[in-house]
A and B are shown apart, each in its own frame.
Chain A
Amino acid sequence: MDFEFSAEQVAIRDTIRELVQDRVAPRAAEIDQSGEYPKDIERLFADNGILGIPFPEAYGGISGSSVTICMGIEEIAKACASSSLILAVQALGSYPILVAGSEDQKKRLCPPLASGEKVAAYALSEPGSGSDAAAMKTRARRVGDEYVLNGTKQFITHGSIAGTLVVFAQTDPGADHRGISAFVLERETSPWRVEKLEHKLGIRGSPTAQVVLEDVKVRASNRLGDEGAGFKIALAVLDRSRPGIGAQALGIAEGAFDYALNYVKERQQFGQPIASFQGIQFMLADIATQIEASRHLVYRAATKVDAKAPDLTKVAAMAKLFASDMAMKVTTDCVQLLGGYGYISDYPVERMMRDAKITQIYEGTNQIQRVVIARSLLR
């Protein structure tokens, strides 16, 4: 066993940490309040190679390792969960290409994503199919060398700003999940329409779009894998992206705890810092322990991704479930530690608590994670 990052990973982490401290952390509150996508931070990440982390060097990237992706997401999420999605969704939207794309597709589609010239997004959910993804209604009809797509995709993170959108659609509607295929839409040639942007509890700086596809044409050469392979691809991608959501949850919790720990050392009540009270100390000990436990599970899942381990599905679900539930509990406790100040927007922990909630919901609700875990246990 070896619990440490490689020297190369530490160097990447330190670079990200510094950039986040200097350029992201000071903007986090304002991003949340304005609800506007921080395009400048996207550029910052692109310019510094951070958006190249999900890709191997052969496709213009710098890593391709899930451990490194998680490390990056965690570092960014400590300061700003919305900004962490710029990396997390770049990975999510690119995984279908990396997992199922042909060599030609990877060579053609990945470099502009790795350089950050384009942002990727992933469109699986629909208004009527969330957890039951196989029930999707979006159609893709083959017409000559092209497919024509029609349907509505819901809750698409970065759907409004992406240049590359991976869409799952039915090519054989009678065949249930075996009729689903995956397509890479490029905005210039296959433009989609953004029907609306959602107003949300948290991660307000990360645009969540309803995407409408009306006779959107896509070349057959942009289909990933065979017809009917889409659902398998979608699940394989989620196995790989869930550790990243765990990492995001972990970062949010760490950011909140870091703030709360300093606060309780300084906040004086009854003539002493509130950190001197055992009731507070026990909360601190429990929070730190839960964070530590989550961190190990997240990185264990990430190493399973990198090793293509057979039990990846189970461990990835565990990491996402445990870390996101932990983040919700920890951020709620951190608001509690700050008392009334924790509840107001002048302090970051209320934002972090709002940001934490989504990690229990997206990329498979935690109920779905439990279904996945139980299925593998009871097999």
Chain B
Amino acid sequence: MDLELAPEHAKFRAAVRELAQGVVLAHASEVDREHRFPVEAVQAAKESGLLGILVPAEFGGAGLDALAFAICIEELAQACASTAVIVDVHTSVGTEPILLFGDEAQKRRWLPPLAAGELLGAFALTEPASGSDAAALKTTARRNGGDYELNGTKVFITNIGQAGLYVVFARTGPDERAAGVTAFLVPADAQGVRVGQVFHKMGLHGSPTGELVLEDVKVPVANRLGAEGEGFTIAMRALDSGRIGISGQALGIAQAALDEAGSLMRERGHEQGDDFALADMATRIESARLLAYHAAWLCSRGLPFTRQASMSKLQCTDTAMQVALDALQIAGDEGAVSGTPFERHVRDAKALQIYEGSNQVQRIVIARELLTG
């Protein structure tokens, strides 16, 4: 048993931290205020190779493991939660499905530009009427010769408008629910792909979220990921990894809130009530971090990690929400003023309890494993 990071992971963390605490942090407040895409941060991530973390070197990536991925997102989120989720979605649900389920040609075509950051990835599963119940999705893909024709509307799509490639889930057959779902690689510039409404949100203002409208979009059969009917399996596997990334994002927000509350207390003096709150915050983060790293470690070793990823996502995001609120409470009035990191962390943290499977869905996943395992 060794619960410390290996030297290569520690070194990687230090490198990402330098970037995050530099250019990423420098724009975080303004990105939030202006509701704008963090171009500088994403550009820096691209130049440092952080957009190809999980992609093997033969396809132009860094070939690192799930633990490095979690660490990367954690460090980015400590500076800017918007930047973190952009990189997270691109890396896990936007790119990894191709890595895991793509054929050789698909990997050669799509992985190099994704790993280089020339294309930003995105994941289009949710629809207006199917959120937690993803298998009820209605978007259709009809086979027509060598093409599929896609029609439908996807919603709550992270990286909307910025992505160059969407992994889209659509119904190909008469099979109801999960069995009829297939995954497709849909380039943003394909005819009939349109960005619908882009939402104003409580937090994560730098990360665009909105509707993806598909009107008679033709994609070649070569863009079908996996077999017909395999789409739901692909989506669930992608989300398992995605939850490791979101755990990292949650840890970064929580750590930033803890550190800022601690700094404030050191500056202005402190009493036992706040001391105890700070101790609880730090303890929760420490335990949540180990859950995340454990899930990542299992994933890296090719072991089952679905339950651990759900536990991690649940615990890390609930921790981030609570810690962000507690940090704001310690800061008091000044924490509630717009533009302070304290109130931004609270707004950013809330999304994490909802997306990539709401925390209710995580509890369903965990309970199912407990009761059938």
Contacts and interface: CB of A to CB of B under 8 A. Distances in A.
A285 B286 contact: no
A374 B363 CA distance: 32
A293 B3 contact: no
Interface residues of B, number: 43
Interface in B263-294: 265-266, 270, 272, 275-276, 278-280, 282-284, 286-288, 290-291, 293-294
A281 B310 CA distance: 14
Given A296-B287, A296-B290, A373-B282, A303 B2 contact: yes
Nearest to A5: B1
A330 interface: no
Contacts of A288: 311, 366, 370
A90 to B, nearest CB: 22
Given A1-B297, A284-B370, A378-B265, A318 B286 contact: yes
Interface in B299-318: 308, 311, 314-315
Contact of A285 (B276, B297, B308, B362): B362
Interface string A350-379: 000000000000000001011111100110
A23 to B, nearest CB: 27
A1 B290 CA distance: 11
Given A1-B3, A4-B1, A378 B367 contact: no
Nearest to A257: B370
B284 A322 contact: yes
Interface string B239-273: 00000000000000000000000100110001010
Given A370-B276, A377-B279, A296 B370 contact: no
Given A281-B371, A286-B363, A292-B291, A378 B1 contact: no
A281 B364 contact: yes
A236 B286 CA distance: 22
A285 B366 contact: yes
Contact of B1 (A3, A297, A322): A3
Contacts of B2: 1-2, 303
B6 interface: yes
Interface residues of A, number: 42
A300 B3 contact: yes
Given A300-B3, A373-B283, A377-B279, A282 B367 contact: yes
B39 interface: no
A303 B5 CA distance: 13
Contacts of B311: 288-289, 292-293
B4 interface: yes
B197 interface: no
A265 interface: yes
Given A2-B3, A3-B1, A374-B278, 12 more contacts: A1-B4, A1-B6, A2-B297, A67-B1, A282-B360, A286-B363, A303-B4, A321-B283, A367-B276, A373-B279, A378-B266, A378-B278
16 contacts: A1-B9, A2-B1, A3-B3, A285-B365, A288-B366, A289-B366, A292-B308, A293-B315, A296-B290, A300-B290, A303-B3, A318-B287, A370-B275, A370-B280, A377-B282, A378-B262
Enumerate the 5 nearest inter-chain pairs by beta-carbon distance, A residue then B residue, closest first. Answer: A296-B290, A281-B367, A374-B275, A373-B279, A285-B363
